[in-house]
Structure 1
Amino acid sequence: MTEKETAVAASQWHLDIADMTPGTRIEGVYGIVNPQVSASRNGNPFLKCILRDATGRVNGRKWTIGPDLLGTLTRAGFVHVSGSCENFNDQIQVRIEAIEPAEIDADRLRQLLPASERDPEEMFAELRTILESLSHPSARSLADAYLADAAFIARFKQVPAAISHHHAYLGGLLEHTLSLVKSADAILPLHPGLDRDVVLLGLFLHDAGKVLELDAERFEYTRRGNLLGHLVDGVVMLETYAARARQAGGEPLSADAKLALQHVIASHHGKLEHGAIKVPATPEAVFVSRLDDLDASTRMALDAVGREDGPVQGFTDPVRGLEDVRLYRPRPFGDG
């Protein structure tokens, strides 16, 4: 057993998926995706699934299974696995000998799933500072209603901004939101006709519904996310938190201000074919939608070219979220 295999805990092996090679034994905790029972050529049932950690994904197969195994694994986000790595069709596959559900804490979660490199508490402190600068009392009361909800904030700090495409890692939603709010705070003085409170609150809340749409531990969409989505939930949530702010004694949000914020949430995807409920129809909604797309597209482009990992050459594979364009990777002025 190598030093790398003991990186997660001294009492438990964990070989990063990116480091798996044929013949290597594994024993440790991994995320599990899409467990299914299939039939082999001779008709015997076997388990197939995807195992993952922060470094990648790998197919897993268990060739003998009991009758209750699938039901147990379907409810699990993480599993303890022992087995060995093998080559199948020129790809690594894990031959599973034993598998059972595993419980993990928040620290282990960030070891087993992709996570933001930034500390979530530091990012949240920056976001709170900007929100405290809102000028209208009713805007501050609404922000405080969200910030006072410990369950909402805990999920807001944890969930990704997306399952794929941009900021698709733990803490991604908070990182994306902070980037937007900081960018807007810098740009807004150039556009004094925009309502600063509506823009900043709109950016804070535009993806708030993702706390219900995304399951951080399973790294997948929830049933609610698949059936409703974060735009619908974001609009409904604003009604709830506006009522909470009023009940807490804060200045009530005017009907016009509430509608303006709900429109920002409903329209921030920009186009109906991109999932918007409405096309942006106020200056603030246009600003939020374009800035959101800029931040998301830039993050996708930078992740695709991988410049932050060192010198790079050539073109990327087609980037799905950017209309399948193949991006040129090198820095224009070199890496010197």
Structure 2
Amino acid sequence: MVESFDELTKPNMSFKGFTFVRQASLAQTKKGDPFYHLTLAKKSTHIPAKVWSDQLNGREDEAQQTLKEGNLIYIEGDTSTYNDSLQMTVRFFRTAKEDEVNLEDFLETPPEPIQELTVEFERYLEEIKDPLIQTISTAIYKKYKSHFVKYPAAVSNHHSFTGGLLYHSVCMIRLGKDICKHYPSVNQDFIIAGIALHDAAKVMEYTNFSAPSYSLPGEFIGHISMSSMLVDREVQIITKERGQPLSSYEHEAVYQLQHCILSHHGKQEWGSPVEPKTLEAHLIHLIDMIDSRVNMIDRGLDQAPEGEFTKVFPLGKLFKPHSK
């Protein structure tokens, strides 16, 4: 019997204890029987789980309230494998009482302290030399700071944990600044500001920071377009305060910043309204790919056995070498 959820690493293990409902959906078997598909979690451990109809009979209303995204629950269950991946069958469930567990003990966080990452991110914003670009970037960050430092960078896959958006942004800026050292033609202002704002509207795209799903504007518009819209709103505020429009040079700078945001997915079929047309836009897309891919692989292989191939969604089978 395993005492802690994050110790579940292989099939044929039994567990009684508390876990966090990261994702939940009600579905039906081919026979029409209802069942719940869950993603249960503690820190970096995420396991798909099923609650079959025999556990739901007569408890439908209770299940609807208990098996809900963002809830802490007590479960009893067993692990197995399905399609070469670990999963769990839940034999019993109930809501966790407030005095039994602490939510913070179950949320995955960045490998570096959020406070230190926040200070580093704010220092990068101060390094932006163009006054208009710095004003826009800083104003947007300050308006959404409380959410920006807590929200994930994705619902699943890369940086999908509390503080993931901040950590992803800081790691990308670190890479971007290193590239600027090697290539003098790169405009560091657009690298820093473009990265700082490229995912800024994820604080609106997602419903919350702990067990996020897509919000109404997230589904209808998406974070890429909304992040560009945030820049446009700041420009309107600035021009109103000035009492005059931007200069032609300032207009070009704003367009370049918005372009870095709008093109950071690289291709239209990958969700970008436009494809990169500046050096900085190309680099931000590539840096985003590098950082997200490294995070996906690191987390996917974190608990994998050494010297074996492990399926890491959505990248397929990956090999984890033996450590020295």
> Within 2, Cα distance between the matches of 1:119 and 1:250?
42
In structure 2, give the amino acid aligned to 1:117: P
* Aligned position for 1:120: 114
Deviations 1:218-246 (A, max 9, x none): 23333332332111111111112333455
Q: 1:156: how far off?
A: 1.2
Matched with 1:164 is 156
One-letter amino acid of the structure 1 residue matched with residue 26 of structure 2: Q
Q: Pick which of 158-167 and 127-136 moved more.
A: 158-167
Root-mean-square deviation (Å): 3.6
1:11 aligned partner: none
Deviation, 1:281, is 0.8
Residue 16 of structure 1 is matched in structure 2 by 5
Cα shift at 1:269: 0.8
Specify which of 253, 261, 264 is matched with residue 265 of structure 1: 261
Following TM superposition, by how much is the alpha carbon of 1:247 offset from its aligned partner in structure 2, in angstroms?
A: 5.9
What is the CA-CA distance between 1:25 and the residue it aligns to? 3.7
Deviation at 1:204, TM superposition (A): 0.6
Cα distance between partner residues in 1 of 2:88 and 2:60: 27
Partner of 1:223: 216
Point out where structure 2 has 5 or more consecutive residues left out of the alignment: none
Aligned residues of 1:18 and 1:56 also touching (Cα < 8 A)? no
Residue 181, structure 1, aligned to residue 173, structure 2: yes
Structure 2 letter corresponding to 1:287: L
> What are the within-5 Å matches in structure 2 for residues 25-36 of structure 1?
25-26=16-17, 28=18, 30-31=20-21, 33-36=23-26
Deviation at 1:193, TM superposition (A): 2.2
Of stretches 259-268 and 80-89 in structure 1, the one that deviates more from structure 2 is: 80-89
Change (3 A) 1:59 1:267: same
Query: Partner letter of residue 221 of structure 1?
Result: Y
CA–CA distance in 1 between the matches of 2:271 and 2:217? 16
How high is the TM-score relative to the length of structure 1? 0.76
Q: Does structure 1 conserve the Cα–Cα contact (< 8 Å) formed by 2:153 and 2:160?
A: yes
CA distance in 2 between partners of 1:93 and 1:71 (Å) = 18
Contact 1:40 1:46 in 2 (8 A): no
SS in 2 for 1:327: strand
Other structure's SS at 1:242 match: helix
TM-score, normalised to structure 2, is: 0.79
Cα shift at 1:295: 1.9
The percent identity for this pair of structures is: 23
Q: CA deviation at 1:177?
A: 0.6
CA drift of 1:93 comes to: 1.7
Q: Which amino acid aligns with 2:266?
A: G
Whether 1:317 aligns to 2:302 is no
2:93 and 2:159 mapped to 1: Cα distance? 35
CA distance 1:125–1:66, change in 2 (3 Å): same
Listed as ranges, the matches of 1:1-336 within 5 Å are 5=3, 15-16=4-5, 18-19=7-8, 24-26=15-17, 28=18, 30-31=20-21, 33-36=23-26, 48-50=36-38, 52-54=40-42, 55-57=45-47, 58-61=49-52, 62-65=55-58, 68-69=61-62, 72=65, 76-86=68-78, 92-99=88-95, 108-149=102-143, 152-215=144-207, 216-245=209-238, 254-306=250-302, 312-317=306-311, 320-321=314-315, 324=316, 326-330=317-321, 335-336=323-324
The Cα shift of 1:262 comes to 0.9
Report the Cα offset of residue 167 of structure 1. 1.8
Do the aligned partners of 2:19 and 2:75 also contact (CA within 8 Å) in 1? Answer: no
1:49/1:59 contact within 8 Å kept: yes
Residue 132 of structure 1 deviates from its aligned partner by 0.4
Q: Describe the SS at the equivalent of 2:76.
A: strand
1:52 offset after TM fit, Å?
Answer: 1.4
| Aligned amino acid, residue 50 of structure 2 | N
Change (3 A) 1:252 1:128: farther
Gaps of 5+ in 1: 6-14
Q: Distance in 2 between matches of 1:140 and 1:24?
A: 51
